[in-house]
Homo-oligomer: A and B are copies of this chain.
Amino acid sequence: MNIRLYNARILTMRSGENIFRGEIWIKNDHIAYIGTDEDIADAGPAIPYITWDHQIDCGDDLLMPGFKNAHTHSGMTFLRSYADDMPLQEWLEKKVFPYEAKLSNDDIYELTRLAVMEYLTSGITSIFDMYLTPDTIAESCRDTGMRCVLCGNVNNHTSNPEKMEEEFEKLNDFNPLISYRLGIHAEYTCDEKLIDSVNSLVHKHKAPFYCHMSETASEVESCKKRYGLTPGMMLDSKGLFEYGGGIFHGVHLTDEEIDVLDMRGVSVITNPGSNAKLASGIAPIAKLSKKGLNIAIGTDGAASNNALDMFREMYLVSVLSKLRENDPASIDAGKVLEMATVGGARAMGLDNADVLDTGKLADIILIDMHKPNMQPENNIIKNIVYSGSKCNVRMTMIGGKILYLDGKYNIGERPEIIYENCNKIAERILG
């Protein structure tokens, strides 16, 4: 398939490059060419004849890399708006775990399809998903066309290192859209023996390691009671971060932990919406950014957030940091947009989907600039981060395939069917 996206403004997110007017040519799953309108006018006669399968007039709107949702639990869509306004532990123990236990594989397949639809409306082209049945999530993402990095979810109840190693080997070889990373749910849901087993796996495969970490103050306190160390220092003392990786949340980090994460090249994946709604706190984004750690952004699941919308998360990263530091200059829009794209790709091991460039994967979105919230155009990047919304997403393309265009989905199923099925699942499980 050859697709030509023309009459566009282009934000490649390549370092130091400004927005320019030009075209992107896609061949199968990757970008074959990016050029300015001048490049194309100059090289016109030299351009070999190409048969286009699709040519899309972008109407002077903006092409940019898709957003990377670097932490989510897609299958939790059934719990959206079911139990809100409760503290995290009580919410998890009374309103999440008991109901999750009733989910079938088919349920998770369908609930993930609903999440994928929402991701597409928000310009999200890849997700880092940790949930109960990685096989099912992989199938759901393959079938809808979503790029998905799965995260191991070892804990005392629903997964174990043997199962994870099987998944690691199987799912890294399953489909070009799917990859798999080693991880545990969190220190507080794993006994030490389990953590040690995962540590052995990490070293056996020389693989980066991921987990929820330091989401709440009470989690940190309980770890200190168990191990005499904060979660980051405990995990590092065992060697889990030897090959890098990432931590989800990272709200309550000590300076010592930040130094260690920095030294190990561990990404911090922040989830501002979820942390705010559960009153867990605000992550020290300004400090992490100043120190040069890689920062990525995730929506977390629909049970806690409740939207799966990267525009909302980008906005929150910035304004919550300003509130936390009591400093409106603590972080700027450009940095936040980097986190949502390049930072996410780096955290998820998707180095071939970070920026728009020749040879990179064609994970591209088209942002509608012709809406009142994007006008006037004093600063397009600030418009995206501070007043942009998913209403501005005209197109979401993953691996060269257009999955969402002007409100229509191309995911192998009609929206109404997915809504109906998900409502049935919610009714059956939540009663």
B-binding residues in A (CB < 8 A): 77-82, 84-88, 91, 114-115, 117-118, 121, 273, 276-279, 281-282, 302, 305-309, 312, 315, 318-320, 322-323, 325-333, 370-373, 375-380, 382-383, 386-387, 389-391, 415-416, 418-419, 422-423, 425-427, 430
Instruction: Kindly list chain B residues whose C-beta atoms are within 8 Å of the C-beta of A79.
Output: 378
Partner of A333, one of B85, B312, B326: B85
Nearest chain B CB to A16 CB, angstrom units: 20
Nearest chain B CB to A144 CB, angstrom units: 12
User: Is A312 touching B312 in the complex (CB atoms < 8 A)?
Assistant: yes
User: Is A377 touching B423 in the complex (CB atoms < 8 A)?
Assistant: yes
User: Is B322 touching A386 in the complex (CB atoms < 8 A)?
Assistant: no
Q: A319-B273, A376-B426 are in contact. Are A332 and B371 (CB under 8 A)?
A: no
User: Is B121 touching A391 in the complex (CB atoms < 8 A)?
Assistant: yes
| C-alpha gap A77/B373 in the complex (Å) | 9
Instruction: Kindly list chain B residues whose C-beta atoms are within 8 Å of the C-beta of A78.
Output: 376
Partner of A370, one of B302, B312, B375, B415: B415
Instruction: Kindly list chain B residues whose C-beta atoms are within 8 Å of the C-beta of A325.
Output: 279
Partner of A276, one of B81, B91, B302, B323: B323
Partner of A81, one of B277, B279, B379: B379
Among A85, A302, A322, A379, max chain B CB count under 10 A is at A85
Query: What are the 5 closest A-B residue pairs judged by CB atoms, nearest first?
Result: A81-B382, A118-B372, A117-B372, A276-B319, A307-B387
Main secondary structure of the interface of A (DSSP, over half): helix
Number of copies: 2
User: Is A81 touching B372 in the complex (CB atoms < 8 A)?
Assistant: no
User: Is A423 touching B375 in the complex (CB atoms < 8 A)?
Assistant: yes
User: Is A328 touching B423 in the complex (CB atoms < 8 A)?
Assistant: no
User: Is A87 touching B377 in the complex (CB atoms < 8 A)?
Assistant: no
Q: A85-B328, A87-B328 are in contact. Are A121 and B378 (CB under 8 A)?
A: no
| C-alpha gap A305/B373 in the complex (Å) | 11
Nearest chain B CB to A287 CB, angstrom units: 16
Instruction: Kindly list chain B residues whose C-beta atoms are within 8 Å of the C-beta of A371.
Output: 121
Q: A320-B276, A391-B389 are in contact. Are A419 and B82 (CB under 8 A)?
A: no
Nearest chain B CB to A384 CB, angstrom units: 9
Instruction: Kindly list chain B residues whose C-beta atoms are within 8 Å of the C-beta of A328.
Output: 84-88, 91, 277-279
Instruction: Kindly list chain B residues whose C-beta atoms are within 8 Å of the C-beta of A307.
Output: 373, 386-387, 389
Instruction: Kindly list chain B residues whose C-beta atoms are within 8 Å of the C-beta of A276.
Output: 319-320, 322-323
| Chain B residue with the shortest CB-CB distance to A329 | B85
| Chain B residue with the shortest CB-CB distance to A84 | B382
Partner of A372, one of B121, B380, B426, B430: B121
